[in-house]
Structure 1
Amino acid sequence: GFDSSQAKREEREREKERERGRGRRTMATCETVAVDENGQTPKAIECRAWVAYAPKKPLTMETVIVEPPQKGEVRVRICYMALCHTDAYTLGGEDPEGLFPSILGHEAAGIVESVGDGVTSVKPGDHVIPCYQAFCKECKFCVSNKTNLCGSVRQWTGNGIMKADSQSRFTVKNTGEKIFHFMGTSTFAEYTVVHEVSCAKIREDANLESTCLLGCGVSTGLGAVWNTAKVEEGATAAVFGLGTVGLACIEGLVSAKASRIIGVDIDPSKFEAGKKWGCTDVINPKDHPDKSIQEVIVEMTDGGVDYSFECIGNVEVMRSALECCHKGWGESVVIGVAGSGKMIQTRPFQLVTGRVWRGTAFGGFKSRVDVPKLVDKYMNKEIKLEEYITHRMNF
């Protein structure tokens, strides 16, 4: 009953595995070397990508060449991606750091196709979420418990390039034109290259279609409540803007056992979702032409809410969100990204009398450590993800 041909095949497979292992690690230095999913040296890949050539112009589908990952980089096959308001904001010319031509997108999930030299935290085949908020674990920001910011690659990602050589990994095949990266992620492509410090490894049994939302919107809203505001049981809150981020704030408030959650939006079609997620009240400012929305909320709540969250990026709404907070202890968290050159303002008296203005990026989560924990929460049915999805489109 012994099949010698089968035994030989099995031995060949074992030898291939040994070769892959030797390719991944050199025994003398214990430093990892570049390798793809077949255990080979990575090569350039051709794939499709949506290229933004100029602000306020439609995206163009192009065949692009994605170069192999260099030292400290990871090439990812994007499986699912979502559209965030920040992508539209940049395409609309409102982003002061917006660069063109570029490949936008920063909310996605995929599978590692290859890694560059020195990469140790992920390997080909791993499921990952590219994170615009890096986490190197070593810089003064990362070692602080006061912030989730990271200074390791910001200088390069802000300029649309990679740290290893200050170059882009994207080239348009037909023209040879180099394309800038966006937010260190560039997920509007079938393949992208990200820094290892921006790549969160997640469990393989999690649905990538759903978990891609943890790349920005849902994480940002939940974290604004849990990490930035640290909302306590029984607190009252107002959420301005009932899109994905606003709904995620509401979900976070419900889990924190807030006693009253007021949703604010000028689009009444969003009120149903707001109530479904947990709003106790919903308000359309247009229904109160004779009063500011902050006056309305202050009257509703006997002096104002304990916490407010601005999820739009409108500087006038940011002021309203602060001024609807209770004197003495109210805190307002700015989440939305405002347009280039916009300034926020309020009367200093609002702050002198005890209100606090805070800001948050990626909900205060330290990406590579906390995103896998959020995936665990999703798998344990502690947070929603599928419920946020309203439309599906093919690439």
Structure 2
Amino acid sequence: MKHAIRQNGSVPMPVVSRAAILVEPGKPLVIDEIEVADPGTTDILIRLDAASLCHSDLSYIEGKFRHSLPAIFGHEGIGEVLQIGADVTSAAVGDIVVPFLVPDCGECVFCRSGKTNMCAQMGRSYRPDFPTWFRWQGKNVPGFMALGTFSEYLVVPQDQVQKVNPAADRATASCIGCGVTTGVGAALIAAKVDPGSSVVVIGLGGVGLSTVQGAKIAGAKTIIAVDVMPGKEAAARAMGATHFVNGSGGDVAQAVQTLTGIGADYAFDCVGSPTVFEQALACLSKGGWSKMITVGMIPDDRPVPVTWSQMLGRNWHNTMMGGAKRQDVATYVDWFVSGKLDLAEMVSQEITLDQINEGFAMMKKGETNRAVIRYR
């Protein structure tokens, strides 16, 4: 649906947008028209070109994590700025931007520390006083984490918007806001993978494949990709894996020990389950320097089974968005445009908004790397 832009950059409001709405956990998303309200003084109205389906969205859709409903999910996308609030300084009308999951207020202790990508405003969209810009059937509907990229039009606070290189292919770049940034960041920022090291990545969805790519960029010598779907091997090797292990075909830790001699220097759980957590930990060497990074989201009602002896000589770290800040998104988009970041295998399907439920069904079966909604 197109909307005329006035000379001052404003758009007739409210904007009518098509969106996919989660009404009940475990049920198909409802495709319907919604209204998108006028941006506030520090907000940005974006018209998306593309949005990517992330496994985190699927976890909420399946009810593994709680969220008020109805709601509009989706947190990966790329599009054009249509309108900005009076106090917005980070973007202008016409800019190509990527919404980002983690706020960057620049004022809290976390932001000022320079040590973390966490912000005290993280999760602010759950507060009852936080504004929502979506309305459906006469009622306000929240966007997931103040985003909601399963709507073609959305309003986002400026500290969750990053201007990026307009030369980037929209479909592929839509994945960079979360999946690619999380995976590449996990390798380069959270783990700080050393050149010449050995790496094992378990789970080869969009995040896992991006972790493989990050390990390659870091200069890892041995990159072992693990998945229960043998069909993921070709994409993993194209992204930089030197070896592939079928996760359903035997003892993964023993296979890694055989390939590395002493165990991996780094292990990444890109699935988010207690079983894979334990599996990834067992893949590490016990020399004291090895590090495991949990990248996937493990539901709170599924405790991680770990003992002191399992941790001996090994280190564990959890990460949000791979430790990356929204400014890193612009860097990774530039890397993608220049060819330093090879994402040729990232997007396996392009779909319409009406096909979003089929896209999640493919994801659940492990039949997709990343499915991308093309809005235009």
TM-score tier (shorter)? 0.7 to 0.9
Structure 1 gaps of 5+ residues are 1-35
Distance 2:19 2:31 in 1: 6
Contact 1:206 1:375 in 2 (8 A): yes
In the other structure, the counterpart of 1:252 is 214
Equivalence map 1:115-154=2 (5 Å): 115-152=84-121, 154=122
Equivalence map 1:111-190=2 (5 Å): 111-152=80-121, 154-159=122-127, 166-172=130-136, 175-190=137-152
Q: What is the CA deviation profile of residues 321-346 of structure 1, one whole-angstrom value per residue up to 9, with x for unaligned ones?
A: 11211102210000001224121121
| 1:61 pairs with 2:55 | no
Q: What is the CA deviation profile of residues 278-321 of structure 1, one whole-angstrom value per residue up to 9, with x for unaligned ones?
A: 22221123222xxx432332343222110000101111101111
Which of residues 307, 310, 314 in structure 1 aligns to 2:273? 314
In the other structure, the counterpart of 1:271 is 233
Q: Displacement of 1:218 after TM fit?
A: 0.9
Which of residues 358, 364, 370 in structure 1 aligns to 2:323? 364
Equivalence map 1:59-138=2 (5 Å): 59-96=29-66, 98-138=67-107
In the other structure, the counterpart of 1:390 is 348
TM-score, normalization: structure 1?
0.84
Aligned letter for 1:225?
A: A
Partner SS for 1:74: strand
Q: Structure 1 residues 232, 155: closer, same or farther in 2, change over 3 A?
A: closer
Contact 1:261 1:278 in 2 (8 A): yes
Contact 1:213 1:385 in 2 (8 A): no
Aligned letter for 1:65?
A: E
Equivalence map 1:200-349=2 (5 Å): 200-288=162-250, 292-327=251-286, 328-349=288-309
Runs of at least 4 residues off by over 3 Å: none
Partner SS for 2:350: coil
Equivalence map 1:35-54=2 (5 Å): 38-39=7-8, 42=11, 43-54=13-24
Partner SS for 1:387: coil
Partner SS for 2:113: coil
Partner SS for 2:45: strand
Aligned letter for 2:8?
A: G
Q: Structure 1 residues 286, 387: closer, same or farther in 2, change over 3 A?
A: closer
Aligned letter for 1:249?
A: T
Q: Displacement of 1:112 after TM fit?
A: 1.0
Q: What is the CA deviation profile of residues 4-41 of structure 1, one whole-angstrom value per residue up to 9, with x for unaligned ones?
A: xxxxxxxxxxxxxxxxxxxxxxxxxxxxxxxx763165
Larger Rg: 1
Q: Structure 1 residues 106, 37: closer, same or farther in 2, change over 3 A?
A: farther
Aligned letter for 1:207?
A: D
Q: Displacement of 1:126 after TM fit?
A: 1.1
Aligned letter for 1:379?
A: V
Greater relative contact order (Cα 8 A, min sep 6): structure 1 or 2?
2
Give percent identity, aligned residues only: 33
RMSD: 1.7
In the other structure, the counterpart of 2:356 is none
TM-score, normalization: structure 2?
0.88
How many residue pairs match? The answer is 347
Q: Structure 1 residues 260, 240: closer, same or farther in 2, change over 3 A?
A: same
Structure 2 gaps of 5+ residues are 354-376
Contact 1:37 1:114 in 2 (8 A): no
